[in-house]
Structure 1
Amino acid sequence: MSETDSFIEEVSDEVRRDKLFGFFKKYLWVFIALVIFIVGGAAVNEYLKAKKETDAQIVGEALLAAQTAADAGAFAAIAADGGAPAILAKLDQAAVLAFDGQAGAAATILDGISADAEVLPLYRDLALLKTVMVNGQNMSAADLDSAFAGLTSEGAPFRLLAIEQRAIVNLRNGDTAATLSDLGEILADSNATQDLRNRAQELTISLGGEIVTPQSGG
């Protein structure tokens, strides 16, 4: 290699080094920001995780305290903060109000839950079932039929409990045959819990009905 070629190569290397240095100098803040973002993001995630756990513990303790005191006002305060615990707090608040004889106020809360499309279907169904239990005697026949149509449909999470409530409504209306039919449906279902089965058997016997044997594979 000639001296000229060597000189040109050295100059080219120097130019490349200058350009590379200039590039890093120009965009160094980008790399620093990226590192901060990655490290900081991990730290933020850890903080949020810890905060969620702490918040969940605080809310859980508040719910337990409200349940121990059967304090509808405390449940209302928890519900006002929103978030996932709000639904549980509202359900508990409605239960306390119903126990205190305030069926109308309880039904208002439960109706709000069951009509809220943002609430999980499981909680909507539970709220609707509780509405029937708490305020069924004040509901119209059409509203009851509509509620039971959904609650007792195949695959509904509280199907058997809803059938039990339908049996109670039928009994209240003096329809013994419909009551026994509902009770028989419960007794024939192998998924019925023992407590539910015992209640159905006792009411069936008291009405002079026949005890149905559970179907296998139900």
Structure 2
Amino acid sequence: MSNPDSFIDEVTEEVRRDKLFAMMKRYGWIAILLVLLLVAGTAWREYAQARDAAKAQSFGDAIMGALELQEPEARIAQLESVQTDDTGAKAILQMLVAAEQGSEGNDAAAVAQLQAVADNTEVPKIYRQIASYKALARGADILTLDERRAGLEALAVPGQPLRLLAEEQLALVDIEAGNKDAALERLKNLVQDAEVTAGLRRRASQLIVALGGSLDDLTVQDS
């Protein structure tokens, strides 16, 4: 390559370098800002994760401490004193309090506590359904037969996670209403359902036999 060509190449490279430095001088702050934002975002995420983990551990420790108390009244009082800003966690606390109230024979208070969870639209749906199921299952002396049937039928819709448990309770409602044939039909369908658990199938089978029904003509699916 001739000296003129080499000189031109050197000049061209110098111009390119000058343009690059000029762009870095003009826009380099953007790259620095992006790096700072990335670092800050990572630090905040790690902080938030550590904070949430600490809150969850503190919440769990408080619950365990309450449940280890000997007296039911003390357990209820301690559970009610646990503080949390999380809606789902509050629902869990209410259901635990309801369980303690129910174990003490205070079904009215337990059902009221559970219905409060079931009616709270801010609570995750699965918690609301669990609370509703527990209230309906426990509310034989609190709710009317029609109220329990309507609530359980809403939970027994295909695709709902508590469908089979609600069907079991509906069979008990049928028995309570004196409709043994409807109860037997519902229980037989439960036994043959492909999604039924072993425990639920066993309970349904025992109830069929207790009602004078037969299991001989049933086709049991593997669960």
TM-score after normalising by structure 1: 0.78
Whether the 8 Å CA contact 1:180–1:204 is kept in 2: the answer is yes
Residue equivalent to 2:38: 38
Whether the 8 Å CA contact 2:153–2:170 is kept in 1: the answer is no
Aligned counterpart for 1:190 among listed residues 164, 187, 194:
194
Secondary structure, counterpart of 1:169 in structure 2: helix
Find out whether 1:140 has 2:144 as its counterpart.
yes
Whether the 8 Å CA contact 2:59–2:84 is kept in 1: the answer is no
Per-residue deviation at 1:217?
8.1
Per-residue Cα deviation, 1:131-177 (whole angstroms, up to 9, x for no partner): 11111332123322321221111111111111111122222232222
Whether the 8 Å CA contact 1:129–1:162 is kept in 2: the answer is yes
Find out whether 1:204 has 2:208 as its counterpart.
yes
Q: Structure 1 89/208 Cα, relative in aligned 2: closer, same or farther at 3 Å? A: same
One-letter amino acid of the structure 2 residue matched with residue 64 of structure 1:
M
Whether the 8 Å CA contact 2:156–2:163 is kept in 1: the answer is yes
Whether the 8 Å CA contact 2:107–2:142 is kept in 1: the answer is no
One-letter amino acid of the structure 1 residue matched with residue 206 of structure 2:
E
Aligned counterpart for 1:124 among listed residues 121, 125, 128:
128
Residue equivalent to 1:165: 169
Q: Structure 1 214/156 Cα, relative in aligned 2: closer, same or farther at 3 Å? A: farther
Whether the 8 Å CA contact 1:150–1:156 is kept in 2: the answer is no
Whether the 8 Å CA contact 2:153–2:166 is kept in 1: the answer is no
Q: Structure 1 31/201 Cα, relative in aligned 2: closer, same or farther at 3 Å? A: closer
Instruction: Give the length in aligned residue pairs.
Output: 200
Per-residue deviation at 1:35?
5.1
The answer to which of 207-216 and 181-190 deviates more is 207-216
Residue equivalent to 2:85: 82
Secondary structure, counterpart of 1:201 in structure 2: helix
Q: Structure 1 87/28 Cα, relative in aligned 2: closer, same or farther at 3 Å? A: same
Consecutive unaligned residues of structure 1, counting only runs of 5 or more, are 1-12
Per-residue deviation at 1:33?
6.2
Residue equivalent to 1:213: 218
Consecutive unaligned residues of structure 2, counting only runs of 5 or more, are 1-14
Residue equivalent to 1:10: none
Find out whether 1:58 has 2:61 as its counterpart.
no
Aligned-pair identity in percent equals 27
One-letter amino acid of the structure 1 residue matched with residue 57 of structure 2:
Q
Secondary structure, counterpart of 2:187 in structure 1: helix
One-letter amino acid of the structure 2 residue matched with residue 43 of structure 1:
A
Secondary structure, counterpart of 1:130 in structure 2: helix
One-letter amino acid of the structure 1 residue matched with residue 202 of structure 2:
N
Per-residue deviation at 1:66?
2.6
Secondary structure, counterpart of 2:121 in structure 1: coil
Aligned counterpart for 2:185 among listed residues 181, 184, 194:
181
Per-residue Cα deviation, 1:90-138 (whole angstroms, up to 9, x for no partner): 1111111111111111111111111122222211111111011111332
